[in-house]
Structure 1
Amino acid sequence: MTESTPLPAPRVAAILLAGGTGTRAGFDHPKQLEPLGGKAVLRWSIDAFDAHPAISLGVLVANGDVMAAAGDTGKGWIYADPGIERQQSVGHALLALADWEDEALVLVHDAARPGLTADVIDRLLAALETAEAAIPTLPVPDTLVEQAHGEAGEVIDRSALARVQTPQAFRLGILRRAHAAAVEAAATDDAQLVRRLGIAVAAVPGDARLHKLTYAEDMAILAGLLGTGTMRTAVGMGYDVHRLVAGKPLWIGGIEIAHSHGLEGHSDADVALHAITDAILGALADGDIGDHFPPSDPQWRGAASHRFLAFAGERVAARHGRIAHVDLTIIAEAPKIGPHRVAIRARIAEILAIPVERVSVKATTTERLGFTGRREGIAAQAVATLELPEN
């Protein structure tokens, strides 16, 4: 009796989806290009697949700018154009694998989950030895309730629920069938399409480090999970004052307020935005508004102060930090700031691209004392709290 020759292991391909714009994250570039621990978010997944001995080919689904940022890889990678929806992007990747046999294995992964480990890949591939498809899942630790009209309802039994992650693993032929059958149907992941064929999907333990980058705040969570460094809190204070003069528009907090007088200055003299700008620059230990926008430079004559504040916000982003809170106090006898407070908060939040809940705007008077009490000018002071990575 002769021993049978073992069958060769099936080929394994990785599909990395990096075609989304990630607008909810609020970055000025696709979220998969946001730096994390010294490299772009999507590079973490590329490196994880490159390092795994079972992966023989990768398909990066991305546009040209993202492809260029991905750089060289240790294994052969090919590229596919992203679609409008995730399902179309996977379909394009499958076309790129047209010459691969149905028995091959494929891992479909979202680039927004940089915490991919070899252990998760191993568990998925092991599951495919007996299953047609497999996904990583985590238990739901929180209490779940139904919710309607802002009110909590009945508690939902979480014991039968799980959080689904990527990568999701499939026999290539099964994934092809699932996408071919779903031309007129949509799904948020590929496992849903496979289940619609009546095929069981195995679940393997996931990993908390596969946290998904959706909002800017997720970067701090990922940095902690992936051990890329700790964050420190930095606080800065800003103060500004300008004289009130007749015949000029009055800009405070990025909005124009109807008043008999306006503020005199080289730019539009918005004391509120100037104070916040200096507070942010102070927290960064990056000089003050005059260092970056000197009054001696004619290009800033009459400039809108939102440009200065947006610049300060960009300096925070360049340091891979975040603006945790802004507290502004406007000191004026007139006009009354109260009726404009909501609009000022919203405008500051818009300029800095942060939630309005992180912006506080207050107003006070000096009880008719001093230059503000005599209505000769308006002053503002601000405190900015930042979270910055440790050097």
Structure 2
Amino acid sequence: MNLSLIIASAGKGSRMKMDRRKQNIPIHNKPLLWHTLNSFLDVNILFSDIYVMVNKKDINYTKNHIIPDLYFDKEVNIHVLPGGHSRVETIQNGINSLNDLTDYVFIHDGARPFVDEDLLNRLITALNDFNAVIPAVSVKDTIKVKNNSLVVNTLDRDSLVAVQTPQAFSYKIIKEAYEKVENIEGKIYDDSLMVENIGEPVKIVEGDYNNFKITTKEDLYKASHILDKRGLE
């Protein structure tokens, strides 16, 4: 099974309200993107090729200050490539760059630094029976639909999940899905929506509440606390 990994890290991270792009913000003296990459290199699962999609202004920084500082002894090819003006365009660029030997593609948010081996193994196991697999966790809060600050409806929490990444797909399926992206109306929230659009079943496996996406400054404090508990400086 030849696995490739695409890491989407080309966004501005404007909600962070800091003077640098989110993926370059240091946590325990390492950029956020370093932690995300290291989480995939620190497991007993081999991704033959990793495609790191960053803003074109960050290509040299990523190549010179993040990649050389990673700790790994695997035979893995790490490619640093320019992302696009949107997440969809960024992932398209990554898919179009994939090695033709790729069997399955994992697509991950660069701002989720705490992927672990158990989660990856759940995804890989499910790929034996499905061409598209996503991790998700149960929703803890009650979710309401609003309109002009008024409640329209209250959703059944038992039927809701919060979707995470990495999401895993057969190369053939995700390539076909992105070729038909123009057929989707409205906002595109994740890659599995593309696969749903072409009628392919999407399997849900158990996610991990620690596998959260860093979006605000408060999330940085939470990430730092996790690293403290793991004894990382």
Provide the TM-score with structure 2 as the length reference: 0.87
Q: Which stretch shifts more, 24-33 or 49-58?
A: 49-58
Structure 1 counterpart of 2:81, one-letter code: A
Rg larger for: 1
- Aligned equivalent of 1:217: 218
Contact 1:135/1:167 (CA < 8 Å) preserved in 2?
yes
CA distance in 1, matches of 2:193, 2:168: 12
The structural deviation recorded for 1:177 is 0.5
Contact 2:3/2:104 (CA < 8 Å) preserved in 1?
yes
Structure 2 counterpart of 1:129, one-letter code: N
Q: Please show how residues 162-173 of structure 1 align to structure 2 within 5 Å.
A: 162-173=161-172
Structure 1 counterpart of 2:65, one-letter code: A
Q: Secondary structure of the equivalent of 1:55?
A: coil
- Aligned equivalent of 1:201: 202
CA distance in 2, matches of 1:50, 1:156: 39
Q: Secondary structure of the equivalent of 1:221?
A: helix
Q: Please show how residues 118-157 of structure 1 align to structure 2 within 5 Å.
A: 118-157=117-156
Q: Secondary structure of the equivalent of 2:222?
A: helix
TM-aligned CA distance change 1:176 to 1:216, over 3 Å: same
CA distance in 2, matches of 1:215, 1:200: 33
What fraction of aligned residue pairs are identical, expressed as a percent? 26
Provide the TM-score with structure 1 as the length reference: 0.53
Number of residue pairs the alignment of both structures matches: 218
- Aligned equivalent of 2:25: 34
Structure 2 counterpart of 1:57, one-letter code: D
The structural deviation recorded for 1:79 is 2.2
Q: Please show how residues 65-84 of structure 1 align to structure 2 within 5 Å.
A: 65-72=61-68, 73=70, 74=72, 75-84=76-85
Compare the two structures and name the one with the higher helix fraction.
2
The structural deviation recorded for 1:184 is 5.3
CA distance in 2, matches of 1:169, 1:202: 10
Contact 1:81/1:89 (CA < 8 Å) preserved in 2?
yes
| RMSD of aligned residue pairs (Cα, Å) | 1.9
The structural deviation recorded for 1:213 is 1.1
CA distance in 2, matches of 1:157, 1:89: 34
Deviations 1:32-86 (A, max 9, x none): 1111133111111211222233322211111313443322243320122101111
Q: Which runs of 5+ in 2 are unaligned?
A: none
Q: Secondary structure of the equivalent of 1:134?
A: strand
Q: Tell whether 2:10 aligns with 1:19.
A: yes
CA distance in 1, matches of 2:94, 2:123: 20
The structural deviation recorded for 1:153 is 4.7
Q: Please show how residues 246-257 of structure 1 align to structure 2 within 5 Å.
A: none
* Moved beyond 6 Å, runs of 4+: none
- Aligned equivalent of 1:49: 40
Contact 1:132/1:171 (CA < 8 Å) preserved in 2?
yes
CA distance in 1, matches of 2:48, 2:164: 22
Q: Tell whether 2:52 aligns with 1:60.
A: yes
Q: Relative contact order (C-alpha < 8 Å, sep 6+): which is higher?
A: 2
TM-aligned CA distance change 1:181 to 1:217, over 3 Å: same
- Aligned equivalent of 1:228: 228
